Amino acid sequence: MERDADLKPDALTTGPSESGGVPVSPILESLVRRDPPPPPPPPVGPGERAVVDRRVLYIGGVCVLLGLLAAVAAQVLIALIAGITNLAFYGRFSFDIVSPANNHLGLWVIPIPMIGGLIVGIMARWGSRAIRGHGIPETMERVLTESSRIPPRVTLLKPLSAAFSIGTGGPFGAEGPIIATGGALGSLLGQMQAVTAVERKTLLAAGAAAGMAATFGSPVAAVLLAVELLLFEFRARSLIPVALATTAATAARFAFRGTELDFPLSAAEPEAAALAIYVLMGAVVGIASVAVTRITYLIEEAFEHLPIHWMWWPVIGTFAVGVCGYFAPRTLGIGYDVIADFLKSPVPIGLAAWICAFKFISWAISLGSGTSGGTLAPLFTIGGGLGTVLGALAAALFPDAGIDPCMAALVGMAAMFAGASRAMLTAVVFAFEITLSPQSLLPLLGACAVSYLISALLMRESIMTAKLARRGLRVPNEYAADPLDSLWVRDIAAPNVITLRADMTLAEVRRWVAAGSPGSGHTGFPIITPEGYLMGVLTRRDLLPLGREPHPEGTRLEELLRRPPVVVYDDCTLRDATDHMVRHDVGRLPVISRLDTGRIVGIITRSNILAAQRSRLMEMERAAATVRLPRMGRNEPRA
């Protein structure tokens, strides 16, 4: 097959000529025919991808309103919890925030949480089963399976059930229900408007993040929580609305409650030896976080084998809450005061261990029973007690290292949450934001990173995703840049293109195919003008009869073109090319130069894209093969 010198000889290969020999000059052919070729239709190339568009302005404005609504909802829920706590444990009608630990009920403290558990069970049975649990896994499930649609009744029932559960002594934090309520508000706003599924997910995540920011005044950590657990992406069009929502929610919180810190930290700048010990503490807490997660889900599995209806499970679970509250009253309720005490001054090692053990027992059993409540505050309480104990032991073994018990407690809190939830950045930034102690950043980062590492090695799922894994859902946990977005079409496209001239007839093409000429077995052929510019693409089905009504043998190829050519530019990425293929349902794209629009310089097919992906995977496997670590096993919580 000859190469047409007029069509970029170094890049393109043309199909057969009219004479079957050396191609005739396109200019002479035009003079003989005396009919100038029709102007080629403009190619359809991929559009420019913008980081944000005007739609983000609208979604961002909605998220500001959503942040304010979530802040109000947070204050209402906290006040409702306080009101129920005062009524249940002190017999008075008041909305002042109090701890149930100071009650004088004696053994009568045991049935009070059971009453709350019964109310939650009734609300879940005849209201919505979605109110059970700590809220975040259920919200994640809605994002993954229901296009971020949450039933409107959950917006009311979730905070109400949590108020009864926590207000009657449940060992949970208010943040989980508030996060779930904010997410439900965002989903509700998304369902009331004409928005896409992606925008509705952004609204849900913004509402959830606003709920956390309104609870603790931690807007940056709330954004990171949304990224790590709800958005499953890191894009400006999602981050900006979520950040606006958390900013508005935090500002509203300051207006309601002032700017005073709830958890001030009294700790000095750690020295090198202390920093190393804090990091080692993170490893120990990471192992403990695995144990906490597994035991919690083993308890949940045990409840599922009970021969009674699940509505009654919270009553049984809260019996353990009452018993633990009798022996350790400070395990009752939210426990924010306990967290503050761990960070304010050294807590005796015996008391810290006592609170840590009983808080874990009551929280794990009640959460496993399916009642309503959060996980962040209990994990911080458990981690704070464990950190205090480890800090005291380290100080006894290394008296000159300068171990600070309050810093050890904060490291234990954050490392416990990082290991159990796998939200490492959220744990680090949250612990910093609630204390505003820059000296804690380095110990927090090192300890949380090690805790995350140990947890990931020993356990596949986290406390947030184990329940979803049991239901057959896979939660994304790696947010890497799209590898196709870093590869250029010009580097992957095949330069030697089998093209056909627009003025050729079907008879010539069919003889060329019948002869088995090189390239004649392709499934598609770009059609070019005599000057070498692309006019369109025809497939073998267009050129060969294949049982259909055949076109006349003298039909010219340009007469068969029905639509403009779908192309990709040489300076596009493989992601642009892939999206363009899917959008137009084609398996190949002619590559044209943006500088010389219309002149074909190559072609890219699905096989080229798969080959590029295969090369990347092989490179990753070769890199992984250079490091051989002992197999840690694939243990995970049975959930």
Tell me if 49 is assigned to some domain: no
Instruction: Note down the domain range covering 62.
Output: 55-257
Higher pLDDT residue, 10 or 511?
511
Q: Do 231 and 289 fall within a single domain?
A: no
Any idea what the CATH number is for the domain that residue 604 is in?
A: 3.10.580.10
- 3-state secondary structure at position 625: helix
Q: Do 466 and 518 fall within a single domain?
A: no
Helices (H) and strands (E) in the chain, counts: 23, 7
Last residue of a domain, one of 228, 257, 286: 257
Q: What is the DSSP letter of 566?
A: B
Confidence of residue 259 (pLDDT cuts 50, 70, 90): confident
Alpha-carbon span 310 to 304, nearest angstrom? 8
Higher pLDDT residue, 3 or 593?
593
Determine contact, residues 90/101, Cβ cutoff 8 Å.
no
The values of phi and psi at residue 602, to 5°, are 175, -175
Q: Do 445 and 417 fall within a single domain?
A: yes
Alpha-carbon span 327 to 452, nearest angstrom? 33
Any idea what the CATH number is for the domain that residue 367 is in?
A: 1.10.3080.10
Tell me if 5 is assigned to some domain: no
In this structure, the strands spanning 497-501 and 524-528 are parallel
Tell me if 556 is assigned to some domain: yes
pLDDT of residue 443: 94
Place of tokens 């600070």: 404
pLDDT of residue 139: 73
Q: Do 180 and 320 fall within a single domain?
A: no
- Averaging pLDDT over each range in 31-35, 43-47, 154-158, 547-551, which range is the top one? 154-158
Burial 15-40 (b: 16+ CB within 10 A, else e): bbbeeeeebeebeebeeeeeeebeeb
Q: Do 529 and 566 fall within a single domain?
A: yes
In this structure, the strands spanning 524-528 and 568-569 are unpaired
Tell me if 105 is assigned to some domain: yes
In this structure, the strands spanning 12-14 and 497-501 are parallel
Q: Do 409 and 545 fall within a single domain?
A: no
Determine contact, residues 563/480, Cβ cutoff 8 Å.
no
Tell me if 108 is assigned to some domain: yes
Q: Do 430 and 300 fall within a single domain?
A: yes
By CB atoms closer than 10 A (0-12, 13-18, 19+), residue 120 is buried
Residue 370, CA distances (Å) to 153, 198, 323 in order = 18, 30, 18
Give 508-525 pLDDT, tens digit per residue: 888 888 887 777 777 778
List Cβ neighbours of 82 (8 Å cut-off, separation of 6 or more).
94, 95, 96, 97, 98, 167
- 639 pLDDT exceeds 50? no
The values of phi and psi at residue 453, to 5°, are -60, -50
- Specify which residues 537 forms β-bridges with: 526
Tell me if 72 is assigned to some domain: yes
- 3-state secondary structure at position 178: helix
Alpha-carbon span 471 to 254, nearest angstrom? 40
Confidence of residue 633 (pLDDT cuts 50, 70, 90): very low
- Specify which residues 372 forms β-bridges with: 133
Q: Do 252 and 281 fall within a single domain?
A: no
Percentage of residues in the chain having pLDDT higher than 70: 87
Q: Do 506 and 601 fall within a single domain?
A: yes
Amino acid code (one letter) for 252:
A
Q: Do 432 and 507 fall within a single domain?
A: no
- 276 pLDDT exceeds 80? yes
Give 573-613 pLDDT, tens digit per residue: 888 888 888 888 888 888 888 777 677 888 888 888 888 87
Q: Do 454 and 369 fall within a single domain?
A: yes
- Averaging pLDDT over each range in 34-38, 341-345, 407-411, 590-594, which range is the top one? 407-411
In this structure, the strands spanning 524-528 and 534-539 are antiparallel
- 304 pLDDT exceeds 80? yes
**Into how many domains does the chain fold?**
3
Q: Do 291 and 227 fall within a single domain?
A: no
Last residue of a domain, one of 257, 292, 316: 257
Give 453-477 pLDDT, tens digit per residue: 999 999 888 888 777 777 777 776 6
Tell me if 339 is assigned to some domain: yes
E runs forming strands in 466-599: 497-501, 524-528, 534-539, 568-569, 588-592
Alpha-carbon span 112 to 134, nearest angstrom? 20
Tell me if 624 is assigned to some domain: no
Confidence of residue 224 (pLDDT cuts 50, 70, 90): very high
- 635 pLDDT exceeds 60? no
Alpha-carbon span 164 to 242, nearest angstrom? 29
Burial 373-400 (b: 16+ CB within 10 A, else e): bbbbbbbbbbbbbbbbbbbbebbeeeee
